[in-house]
Structure 1
Amino acid sequence: MRRTLYQKFRQKNAWTQIGRRLRGGILCCCIGFSTLPLTGQAAEPSLPILTDSTSSIISLQDEHKLGRAWARVLRGRAVLLDDPMVKQYLQDLLWRIVPSSELRDRRLELITLDNETFNAFAVPGGIVGVHGGLITASESEAELASVLAHELAHLSQRHYAQQLEESRRNRPLVLAGVLASILLASADGEAGTAGLASTLGGSASAQLAFSRRNEQEADRVGMQTLVKSGFDPYAMPEMFSRLQKSYRFAGNRAPEFLLTHPVTESRIADSLNRAAHLNRPSAKDNSLVYDLVRTRLLVHYGKDMNALFNQFSNDAKSSPRDAYGLLLTAIELGKPKQAQAALDMLPRAWQQHPYVRLTALDFYLRTDNIEAGVKLARELHDLYPGSMPVTYYYGLALRQARDYKGAADAFKELTSDYPTDAAFWFQLSETQGLDGNIAAVHRSRIEYFLLTGRIDRAQKQLDYARREKGLSPIDTARLDQMEEEIKRVRQEMDDTLS
């Protein structure tokens, strides 16, 4: 759970620039920040929905372009959570819910932010964002699922397009201000709060009322989606109630989720009443992977690792979750004997889970037990072909064993399966550099810079690539194609975010 080279690189560069398109008077939005995460979606991209009046306000394809352009900005400015187990779990949970939602356009992209505040948001074009702190704030998988279902409801009901229509009767909507406030809140809480003050200051009461209607509709539709997905409808009011209580003890600093999704006593009461009229599925325990992922993040955001180690030690023998927490904290503190003892405490079902075995693999790599690490990595790679976390750690193990070609192949597989994950492109470029494949390094870095909205740096990287000696005609053709891609992305970002 250490901060990786990629995270250090991202954090160093996160605030070098907010971007010309997000400067100036962009925070004078006409809608309140309470509706920032509200976004749009609808049917098949190429076919109009005759009953969808919002498509006349902003087309589905324009929403899609807007979301992808903004995602590039977010990836380049906020620190992303690059734990592949967390990312895979959230992807799986999201796609467990999606089939039961009212989404027609399911071109979704999940972005996980390395931020311990509890927040989630959605923006036009199917971008769903989750802060790591949202998982630690939840006390059940159903509560976490309720937030995702709520965000999907904003997308399915096209609330962004509706808000745009409402704003036309008042003042012009400056979307960049909305997006900038989300960006600031996701990357820096205090800066985000300042942005919120400016944005909220420009909100009219009629527009706030429209926002409340959006929230009520998202509660209703989201709860129906939650139940259809097999979760308890009471999880939604329980989650909202917990977040509201945490606000009371947080002084003047409200959780971002409450700022973007205001929760009142009446809203909680409405959701409780709504839940009472829905079928309640039979009680289910949290999934094992939820417990593993939540414990990983509790350790990741732990301020005092020794105190956490002692806390987990007290209940490790009777609680698998605490035993796993003990394993993680022992690894962080460099205590191999205690880590092995904690691993041995886990029930067999836990020990055999791929995420626990990957944790053991991480333990081997950190203690330079390369032979054991590579052996376990190869075994897991054979057992779970195509698994994102397994392939990621397989690549790390091979790289540490100086099998740079094998490691590069693993990261190439990840960039092929997850082409918008900037962390995988970064790892690929680092590995190709160790392998001495300079031409490939340039191409991977160009992809990385494009994904993180650093268009000028992508162009500069392309210029460096063209100066390399001995370029083959194939290399030149590839660079020509990438230059066209740079132009296309630059134009798309200018069109959608200017």
Structure 2
Amino acid sequence: MKKALQHHHTTRTLPFWKNLLCAFVAVLIVLLPPVHLAKANILDTFGDFGVKDEVELGKKFSVLVKSKMPIIEDPEVTSYVSGVLDRLKENMPPQPFPFEINVLVDNTLNAFAVPGGYVFVNTGMLLELEHEAELAGVLAHELAHVTQRHIAKRIEQSQKVQLMSLVGMLAGAVLGATTNSGSEISSGLITGSMAASQAALLNYSRDDEREADHMGLIYLTDAGYNPIGLATSFAKIRRRKWESGSNMPAYMSTHPAVEERQDYLADRVASLPQEIQNRPDDDTRFKRVQVLVRAQYTDPNLALAYFAKQKKTPLVLMGQGIAASRVNKVKQAAAYFDEALKGDPKDYLILREAGKFHYTKGDTTKAITLLQKAAVKNPEDLMTLFFYARLLNDKGDSKSAATYYQKILKTLPEDSEVHFFYGKMLGQSGDEFSGHLHLAYSALYRNDKKKTAYHIKKAEALATNQKQTSAIELIKKQRDERAAYWK
């Protein structure tokens, strides 16, 4: 806080790029529910703006988003989008930082990336596209904005831009943007790190967009996808705008070059060898993830209405089962799951979701049979292991359950639900310190300020050695990072 006050009194002497970063944080206040700038002063962090600073800026942006928006932790979804990203990265030049992708539960058609390799895609985008190649096209464009350092270069080149001008332009770019739920968030994000461009008012030039389209198409093609995916993703987003009149990134609805970009992308694809243009789409896993996201993370009644119009495949029946269970139509849900299992008794995802359903409804015998089968079919599915761990604990085998919880947390360290049940189990078994520690993490990742403080205080009172004291210091550090953005 002392350093923040010092910066407040010396603003006029700061480098202009630091003023730009300050403007970036100011706009995030507009984009997301209110945060306190004084608590999140990022000027203390940066020296000369370079790759290290990009990473730090991206990390702070990621923490802010996670402190305000629900993130999907289901490994079926997260591993899928990570796999698409990894496939694109394989043929990219080496990058100075790793990339991280998260899926936000939000109906708007947004995807965006920020410096440092942090990528976000909304559930609305996942559900609107028709092919994996289109999703890959969106992400390829995103990656191109990051790899070409468009935002970083604009920060470096902004030395002659006055801070108040930047703030005014930023506010003009994003004010009035709302999600379906009414909470403020950027709609200036389009399928490409146009997110960060509009969000930070580092408006990308036409040259930036052309370069991102050019490089994105290269990344998409080199990854083995049908290259038309980038152009058709643009077309689908524009079509959605005319159909609904909403849920549309402002950039896509107003920028005069969108049609031109679609045309030249189509022309470039037409110039490629025929075997590349004719690459088949493999949308098997993409469609599975779409069913799961629609059933689990959208309005359950709307999901049921959607599935009712689809061909009754085992996967669609599973989706109906998930959505029906969410509105407590237990008998209907059970019937849907039974029919799905009858249609494909070997699909681990159907086995997993049916097992989850029967567990939550109290039929542990049926649940354990289904979950065991799911684990055999896919031993790496962490959601299956999570519910299996809960079953083991219910049966008194907390030692085996702990092994599964620990394995899950190595891959999903920010899953609040896993921390919650693991913490409860530890507390019940007598390890009160660890129990409160994991319950504190659970509350932290749910952005529950009061419960986080409560369980940290309880754990701190129980700490008896240096290892436990260090664990308290670590969670306090993580708490402080998020608390800077809590109300």
Cα distance change on mapping 1:195 and 1:273 into 2, 3 Å: closer
User: What letter corresponds to residue 168 of structure 1 in structure 2?
Assistant: Q
1:97 aligns with 2:92: no
| 1:256-312 deviation line (CA, Å, top 9, x unaligned) | 67479987211211221222233425443433222111112223355463x754664
1:295 aligns with 2:291: yes
Percent of counterpart pairs with the same letter?
24
Q: CA deviation at 1:136?
A: 0.6
Which moves more between the two structures, 337-346 or 242-251?
337-346
1:340-359 map, 5 Å? 340-344=337-341, 346=343, 348=344, 351-359=345-353
Per-residue deviation, 1:148: 1.4
Corresponding residue of 2:335? 338
Measured at CA, do residues 186 and 211 of structure 1 come closer, stay the same or move farther in structure 2, by a change above 3 Å? Answer: farther
**Among 369, 372, 390, the residue aligned to 2:363:** 369
Distance 2:234 2:115 in 1: 24
Shift of 1:58: 2.0
In structure 1, runs of 5+ residues without a counterpart are: 1-23, 34-54
Query: After superposition, where does 1:141-220 map in structure 2 within 5 Å?
Result: 141-172=132-163, 189-192=182-185, 208=203, 210-220=204-214
Question: Structure 1 residues 302, 226: closer, same or farther in 2, change over 3 A?
Answer: same
> Which residue does the alignment assign to 2:236?
242
Which residue among 104, 107, 116 is the counterpart of 1:125? 116
What does 1:409-488 align with in structure 2 at a 5 Å threshold?
409-448=403-442, 461-468=455-462, 471-472=463-464, 476-485=465-474
Contact map agreement 1:116 1:301 (CA 8 A) in 2? no
Q: Measured at CA, do residues 341 and 356 of structure 1 come closer, stay the same or move farther in structure 2, by a change above 3 Å?
A: closer
**Range moving further from structure 2, 232-241 or 378-387:** 378-387
Q: 2: distance between equivalents of 1:341 and 1:379?
A: 15
Structure 1 residue 129 displacement after superposition: 0.9
In 2, the alpha carbon distance for the partners of 1:420 and 1:314 equals: 36
Amino acid at match of 1:255: P
Question: Structure 2: which amino acid aligns with 1:482?
Answer: A
**Conserved in 2, the CA contact under 8 Å of 1:108 and 1:126?**
yes
Task: Give how far 1:435 is off.
Answer: 4.2
In the alignment, the residues of structure 1 paired with residue 443 and residue 265 of structure 2 have an alpha-carbon distance, to the nearest angstrom, of 43
Q: CA deviation at 1:425?
A: 3.3
Q: Residues 126 and 155 of structure 1 are in contact (CA less than 8 Å); yes or no, is this contact kept in structure 2? A: yes
Q: Does 1:275 align with 2:269?
A: yes
Aligned in 2, Cα 1:448/1:314: closer, same or farther, shift over 3 Å? closer
Distance (whole Å) between structure 2 residues aligned to residue 171 and residue 455 of structure 1 = 37
| Closer/same/farther in 2, CA of residues 365 and 253 from structure 1, 3 Å limit | closer
Asked if 1:68 corresponds to 2:65, the answer is no
Q: Are 2:377 and 1:390 aligned? A: no
Q: Which segment drifts farther, 457-466 or 447-456?
A: 447-456
Q: Alpha-carbon deviations, 1:87-116, whole Å to 9, x = none?
A: 222122222222123351352222221112
How far apart, CA to CA, are the structure 1 residues paired with 2:453 and 2:315?
48
- Does the 8 Å CA contact 2:141/2:216 hold for their aligned counterparts? yes
Q: Is the 8 A contact 2:107 2:124 kept in 1?
A: yes
> Could you list the runs of 5+ residues in structure 2 that have no partner in the other structure?
1-21, 32-45, 190-194
Which residue in 2 is equivalent to 1:227?
Answer: 221
Indicate conservation of the 8 Å contact 2:270/2:277, yes or no: no
Distance in 2 (alpha carbons) for counterparts of 1:181 and 1:482: 40
1:264 corresponds to which residue?
A: 258
1:8-47, aligned counterparts within 5 Å? none
Q: Distance in 1 between matches of 2:444 and 2:102?
A: 16
Amino acid at match of 2:362: D
Structure 1 letter corresponding to 2:339: A
Aligned residue for 2:282, secondary structure, equals coil
Report the CA distance between 1:164 and its aligned residue: 0.7
Counterparts of 2:427 and 2:174, CA distance in 1: 37
Partner of 2:280: 284
Counterpart residue number, 1:42 = none
The structure, 1 or 2, with the larger RCO (C-alpha pairs under 8 Å, 6+ apart) is 1
- How much does 1:421 deviate? 4.5
Give 1:3's aligned residue. none
**Structure 1 residue 76: deviation in Å?**
1.9
- The 3 A distance-change label for structure 1 pair 320 and 386 is closer
- Give CA-to-partner distance per residue, 1:351-403, whole Å, 9 cap, x none: 42322221221232233221121233234335533433332333344355565
| Corresponding residue for residue 380 of structure 1 | 374
Partner AA of 2:259 in structure 1: E
Match of 2:75 among 84, 87, 91: 84
- Residue 130 (structure 2) aligns with: 139
* Aligned alpha-carbon RMSD (Å): 4.2
Secondary structure (helix, strand or coil) at the match of 1:116 reads: coil
Q: Does the CA-based 8 Å contact 2:104-2:123 persist in structure 1?
A: yes
Q: Indicate how the Cα distance of structure 1 residues 248 and 144 shifts in structure 2: closer, same or farther if over 3 A, else same.
A: same
Number of aligned positions between the proteins: 431
Distance 2:244 2:260 in 1: 21
C-alpha displacement at 1:419, in angstroms?
2.9
Q: TM-score, normalised by structure 1?
A: 0.72
After superposition, the Cα gap between the structure-2 partners of 1:211 and 1:460, relative to the gap in structure 1 and judged at 3 Å, is: farther
| Superposed CA offset, 1:324-353 (max 9, x none) | 43444454432155224531563x4xx423
Secondary structure of the residue aligned to 1:249 is helix
- Kindly state the Cα deviation for residue 128 of structure 1 after the two structures are TM-superposed: 1.0
- Output the CA distance in 1 between the equivalents of 2:255 and 2:436: 42
Matched position secondary structure for 1:122: strand
Shift of 1:84: 3.1
